[in-house]
Chain A
Amino acid sequence: MTRIFRNYWTRRIAGSIAVLLMVLVLNFFLFRIMPGDPVSTIIDPHFSPQAKMHLRSQFGLDLPLYRQFYLYVKSLVTFNFGHSFLSQKPVWEELKTRIPNTVFLLGTAFLLSAALGTWLGVKAAHKRGGVLEKVVLVAGSISFSFPSFFVQLVLLLVFGWAIPIFPIRGSLSVPPPEGIMALWDFLWHMTLPISSLVLLGFGSWAIYVRNLMIKTLSEDYILLARAKGLPENKVLWGHAFRASLPPIVTMFLLALPGILSGAVITETVFSLHGVGKFLLDSILGHDYPAAGAAFYLLAIITIICNLAADFAYGLVDPRIRLGRKME
């Protein structure tokens, strides 16, 4: 790596650390600027006054603010998120079981909608004015203006009530089946949520890729690629798509944090056992340790995704990799 390259990276990582710090500070103060007794955000209000006094010193709430902050950061790093008010269990216990569900939901939906949208976008740009292009434009409008919960409720109406073939709530049946059937049951429950996310998401992908590809396809080197006698498929995918890849990859990873909102809503609509619904339930139930932890987790994921976006962009676009200034 050249020195310039490392410089670019140190800047990006320093930036991410700054963001992380900001998030930590935000998280720290957010739950303490509540009207009323700040203690009630940390300690269960149902405890007796003596217990509260005891816990007050235990949590160091009588310590100066900066010491509290230090303790707070320490606890976060060790994944000690305290205990949930609602369930009395350690928050990390609650989160542990939910993280895989959310990751699966978001990961699959995101990958599928990106893949479908990209493919459609490339094809639509290739045959301008065709049926596919019109479909893409309509789907894009839907992506931008239809609220996700609306589409999901409609899907629930159609497939949960009118033609009842899919389950309408939960990540698993109650009681869950054994062994390999459990996996099948899980996938069966995930079909509607994932399909709804893909339906909502592929449109904006397709439009973005279509616009990008239209610009790329008008470049001279594409004309030359055709002149070189290469088959149309190779020109489209090996040259045009390949050249459009850097911004697509960036968009891919920049969009990643955005789908977290989709998780909250989807998990609520379909009552899935995930981190998003956990965040909502905690907020509605004034369960501050749980809410703080869930929010912190989501923020971490966002920061990692942003860093990953920069990293991948550097890999894919040789102009960046070799240390050109980017501003």
Chain B
Amino acid sequence: MKRLLRRFSFWLLIGFILAGIWGPSLFDMNAETQVASPFSKPLWIGKDSPPAMTFTLTPKTRAAQFQWVYPAPPNIAIWGTVELNKPSSASLVWETPDGDRIEIARNEDLPSFNVDIDGRDMSFKTSLGLSPFDNPMEKLFPSKGKYTLRMSPDDLDIRSGAIHVRIEGARWGLLGTDQRGRDVFHLFLLGIRVSLLVGICATILATLLGVSVGLVAGYAGGMVDTILMRLVDILLAIPGLPILMVLAGIWGKGLWQLIVILSIFSWMGTARTIRSLTLSLRESAFVEGLRALGARPSYIMYRHLLPESLPILLANIALGVPSAILAEAGLSFLGLSDPRIISWGRMLNEAHGFGAFTTGAWWLILPPGVGISLICLVFLDLGRTLEEMADPRLRGGGKR
């Protein structure tokens, strides 16, 4: 046990599990919402790419000033309502470093000043004097320097309200955004849940199946054994990914269907191992003794043979999880999983389908891929450690 605790991969796995369970709650919004412009780079690279910026104009602060040393951002959104004490005309003025003053919103004698601007709106573009095909951002951000947005006139009688401004950057977060503007890091954390859930459940199910078949086949022998082993041969002869694809395509792409399908086609290896173990143990002295005492086969199988196989079984489980995770990732990548569920395979599917590599958006490709690989490596390492722990005991004849 101590040996297990000393391994780095064990702690990495714990880290992944914790991150998967609690990580997403660090974010106060749903992962599906758009947080920034699509294909934003991570914050820590591309320092010459515009970051996102938000600020608010309130009754107290009627102007906002900021430095802008980047190229024009992808988009800007300005929204909000300001209640006036008496109807009057008001406007929002945008001042550029070059000295231009652009009026971007106007209110004519209404009791409240309502603003709802998105940089892509045609009405906005025309109000700036542009055609529907021009980029208003170039006009708003012509050069680097100090920019100001202010409510005008300065003595406007405001009762309450606020105007929010969001400049969409081309940079966001730890790992940027995907083609829908979703935070990749958030998606990555959610992906942990799916991989671990599918991997572990499918493997446990497959192990239960495999152990049952193996025990029965090994202990009963004869015709039962032959039939079961023929079944194993037949299932092994069916090409793996194609049958998974066909089943997923026909039956359904849901998460639980996936788990069941995966387990149906991965129990065979365990069955064989358990069967040979049972065959060798069946002839051993203590089993003969149990039989002489009148123990029923099911008792012998589940109360004695099973515990003997436990160490090897644990190792098999740990080694089987990577293949389940890879299979799930593969099916998701091919598009044969529930599109509403965020998994690493699906992230790679979208990266491929929406041309991540033509835009060089490596942050869409590396995180999910590295995630899958790391988790598989972790389980492989743990499996090998468990095998080592199991082996000397078995070789030495077990605890008896």
Contacts and interface: CB of A to CB of B under 8 A. Distances in A.
Direct interface between A and B, CB < 8 A? yes
17 contacts: A19-B234, A22-B234, A26-B238, A30-B247, A145-B376, A146-B373, A147-B345, A150-B348, A150-B368, A150-B373, A153-B351, A157-B356, A157-B357, A157-B365, A261-B239, A294-B242, A295-B243
Nearest to A263: B241
B239 A168 contact: no
Contacts of B372: 145-147, 150
A298 to B, nearest CB: 5
8 cross-chain pairs, A with B, having the tightest CB-CB distances, nearest first: A150-B369, A261-B241, A145-B376, A283-B249, A19-B237, A156-B357, A146-B373, A145-B377
B3 to A, nearest CB: 20
Interface in A286-327: 286, 291, 294-295, 298-299, 301-303, 306
Interface string B241-267: 111011111100000000000000000
Given A30-B250, A279-B245, 7 more contacts: A22-B238, A142-B373, A147-B330, A147-B373, A153-B348, A156-B357, A295-B242
Interface stretch (B56-64, B309-317, B332-340): B332-340
A142 B242 CA distance: 23
Interface stretch (A71-79, A96-104, A121-129, A264-272): A264-272
Nearest to B377: A145
Q: Which of B234, B246, B348 has the most CB of A within 10 A?
A: B246
Interface in B212-259: 230, 233-234, 237-243, 245-250
A80 interface: no
Q: How large is the interface on A (under 10, 10 to 19, 20 to 34, 35 or more residues)?
A: 35 or more
A258 interface: yes
B194 interface: no
Given A161-B360, A291-B249, A144 B380 contact: yes
Dominant secondary structure at the B interface: helix
Nearest to B358: A161
Contacts of B326: 145, 147
Interface of A: 15-16, 18-19, 22-23, 26, 30-31, 33-34, 141-142, 144-151, 153-154, 156-157, 160-162, 168, 257-258, 260-261, 264-265, 268-269, 279-280, 283-284, 286, 291, 294-295, 298-299, 301-303, 306
B241 A264 contact: yes
A23 B245 contact: no
A265 B329 CA distance: 11
A30 B242 CA distance: 13
B357 A153 contact: yes
A142 B369 CA distance: 12
A260 B241 CA distance: 8
B322 interface: yes
A299 B245 contact: no
Interface of B: 230, 233-234, 237-243, 245-250, 322, 326, 329-330, 333-336, 345, 348, 351-352, 356-358, 360, 362, 365-366, 368-370, 372-373, 376-377, 380
A30 B368 CA distance: 33
A162 B348 contact: no
Contact of A295 (B246, B248, B334): B246
A149 B242 contact: no
Contact of B335 (A284, A291, A306): A284
A11 B345 CA distance: 42
Contact of B242 (A31, A153, A161, A264): A264
Contacts of B362: 157
A279 B245 CA distance: 9
A173 B395 CA distance: 59
Contacts of A148: 330
A160 B245 contact: no
Contacts of A31: 250
A238 B390 CA distance: 37
A293 to B, nearest CB: 12
Contacts of A145: 322, 326, 372-373, 376-377, 380
B45 to A, nearest CB: 14
Contacts of A142: 373
A36 to B, nearest CB: 11
B369 A147 contact: yes
A295 B247 CA distance: 11
Given A19-B233, A153-B352, A302-B238, A147 B329 contact: yes
B360 A157 contact: yes
Contacts of A284: 249, 335-336
A175 B195 CA distance: 42
- Central interface residue in B242, B247, B248, by most chain A CB within 10 Å: B242
B161 to A, nearest CB: 47
B9 to A, nearest CB: 11
A151 B376 CA distance: 14
A258 B242 CA distance: 10
Looking at A33, A153, A161, A257, the one whose CB has the most chain B CB atoms below 10 A away is A153
Nearest to B329: A147
Contacts of B377: 141, 145
A257 B330 contact: no
A261 B250 CA distance: 18
Contact of A168 (B351, B357, B368): B357
Contact of B330 (A156, A265, A286, A301): A265
A189 to B, nearest CB: 16
Contacts of B240: 258, 260-261
B365 A154 contact: yes
A157 B372 CA distance: 18
B306 to A, nearest CB: 25
A15 B233 contact: yes
Contacts of B345: 147
A149 B249 contact: no
A148 B330 CA distance: 8
Contacts of B239: 257, 260-261, 298-299, 301-302
B242 A279 contact: yes
A261 B330 contact: yes
Nearest to A149: B333
